[in-house]
Amino acid sequence: MIHPNSINNIEQFVEDFIKEIQNGLPGSRAQQKMSPSIRNHSNKKNDPNLARDSSVLILFYQKGDKLYFPLIKRSNGDHNHSGQISLPGGKYELSDKNLVNTAIRETEEELGLCGDKIHIIGPITGLYIPISNFQVQPIVGYYEGLPQFKADNFEVHQIIETDIQELFRNDNKHEEIIHKNGFEIKAPYYEVKGHKLWGATAMIISELEELLKRANLIE
């Protein structure tokens, strides 16, 4: 077991994290801790049976004696998640072998990384996103070496290197009221370098937080 304030060896971190996953995933109970009060804040009702498959990647990497993963601020545009903080990822394409391949491909495209240096740990609990009608599968992995990011100019406004010890401090969790499409939403969020991480991505990260705490990998 490594000390939670210092990462000396990412391989040992991965080993401890895999052992914790094998003990069972916290699932929707952990996700609900960061769930908005209204998740379907769209004036158009979507059918979960017609949801499109997608995946996102939580990609750990070591920088000095700390562990990070990248979040992105999506470019502004005419879509449901424009301008939001999210994990790299996107929808499944027929050319993808599986959802792991989707997550790697999207991460290569959005962050300019080499897919050969991405090593997969495994999936955590999937999540349905009502507003965009996506069924998203979070995949956890780690990057071999120090990533050299190059953001996709069309899709990514900013790459946010996220220190896991900093992110999961209690004083970085807040709640606010958001007004969208005529709905009033009580939204828990993580504060990340001045950005607000909420919604489906925060729910996914909430399960990650519980897994890391169970394994004593964060305080």
Q: Is the pLDDT of residue 112 over 50?
A: yes
- Cα distance between residue 210 and residue 189, in whole Å: 16
Spatial separation of the C-alpha atoms in residues 156 and 74, rounded to whole Å: 5
pLDDT at 186 over 50: yes
How much is the average pLDDT of 59-71?
96
pLDDT at residue 183, rounded to an integer: 81
Where residue 182 falls (left for φ over 0; alpha for ψ -120 to 50; beta otherwise) is left
69 and 164 Cβ atoms separated by less than 8 Å: yes
82-96 per-position pLDDT tens digit: 678 999 999 999 999
pLDDT higher for 80 or 11?
11
Angle subtended by helix axes 199-214 and 10-22, to nearest 10: 100
Could you tell me if 20 and 215 are in contact, meaning their C-beta atoms sit under 8 angstroms apart? yes
Confidence of residue 131 (pLDDT cuts 50, 70, 90): confident
pLDDT given at position 75 = 85
Q: Is the pLDDT of residue 44 over 50?
A: yes
How would residue 1 be classed by pLDDT, with cut points 50, 70 and 90? very low
Residue 79 pLDDT > 80: no
CB 53 within 8 A of CB 92: yes
CATH architecture of 10-214: Alpha-Beta Complex (3.90)
Q: Which of 77-86, 98-107, 114-123, 130-139 has the lowest mean pLDDT?
A: 77-86
Q: Is 106 exposed, middle or buried (0-12, 13-18, 19+ CB in 10 A)?
A: buried
> Taking residues 110-124, what's their average pLDDT?
97
Residue 91 is predicted with a pLDDT of 96
Q: Mean pLDDT over residues 41-64, rounded?
A: 86
The count of residues in the chain is 219
DSSP H helices in 76-198: 99-111, 164-167
| pLDDT given at position 219 | 83
Average pLDDT over residues 25-35: 97
Most distant pair of Cα atoms in the chain: their distance: 49
Contact 73, 18 (CB under 8 A): no
Distance of CA 176 to the CA centre of its chain: 20
Sorted by where each begins, the domain ranges of the chain are 10-214
Q: What are phi and psi of 157, to 5 degrees?
A: -85, -35
